[in-house]
Every structure is written in C-alpha cells, then in structure tokens.
Amino acid sequence: MRKDLPDTRPPPRTGIAAEHRGLESELFELAHRLTDDRLGDAELTFAALRSRLLDHMALEEETMFPLLDGEPGATLRREHGVIRDLLAVTGAAIAAGNRGAGLAALGRLAVCVGEHSDREDRILYPVVTSATSALER
C-alpha cells in the first residue's frame, strides 16, 4: 500500500469479527424459520448459510491459520472439521423435513460456531494483527 494515502480498510480483526457476528445472526434466523415450521424457507436459508460459512472457513484456513504454529492452529482446524460435520447433519435433517432434528443439530452448530469465534478472537486475531502490522512497516 502506498504510504502517502490513508488506509481506510478496517483492521483484519474487525472485518472477520463482523463476519462471525453475521454468520451467528444467520444461524438464529435459520432457527426462527425452523421453529415457525417454514421448511422451504429454512432450506434456502441453510443453503446460503452453508455456502457462506464454508467459504469463510476456507479463507481462514488458507490465509490466517498458516500464521499459527502448533496446537492453537491444530485446535482451530479441528473445530472447522466439527463445524463441517454439524453442517452436514443439520442439512440432512432439514432436507428430510425433520424440524426437531434440524433444530437440535442447529443448536449444536450455533454453540460450536460461537465458541470457535470466541477462540479465534483470543488466539488468531492478535497474531494476524501483529503479522499485518509487521508487513506494513
């Protein structure tokens, strides 16, 4: 980036944290659609959420996780695997029209995504912010 122009981009943590909050909000919207027995709407909402969440995790794995050494990075990668598994279970329940199983799986997914986001806030973002600052020097 040219040093004579101000950087108007949000810091990496801000953008990613906002993305996490948006994904969590979509999980709750999906729960409302399932609770209201709007399975057709729930399928569409789930498909969009699934795609966005998978893209988000792929971006983190490709660009940010390599900055982490050892167990912290391995933990975050394992959690992404659990999230992918829960997406599959949730999607199967919704596709089968099983509202109860869909809500149960979605509840587990929401908890997992929330805990994972909090962990990334504590572990990943300080590393990314530090690396970004070092590159801009």
132 band by pLDDT with thresholds 50, 70 and 90: low
Give pLDDT tens digits for 18-42.
Answer: 888 889 899 999 999 999 989 899 9
pLDDT at 134: 55
| Domain boundaries defined on the chain | 13-136
pLDDT at 14: 57
d(CA 42, CA 36): 10
Pick the CATH number of 13-136 from 3.60.15.10, 1.10.3720.10, 1.20.120.520, 2.10.109.10: 1.20.120.520
d(CA 43, CA 114): 22
What pTM was computed for the model? 0.82
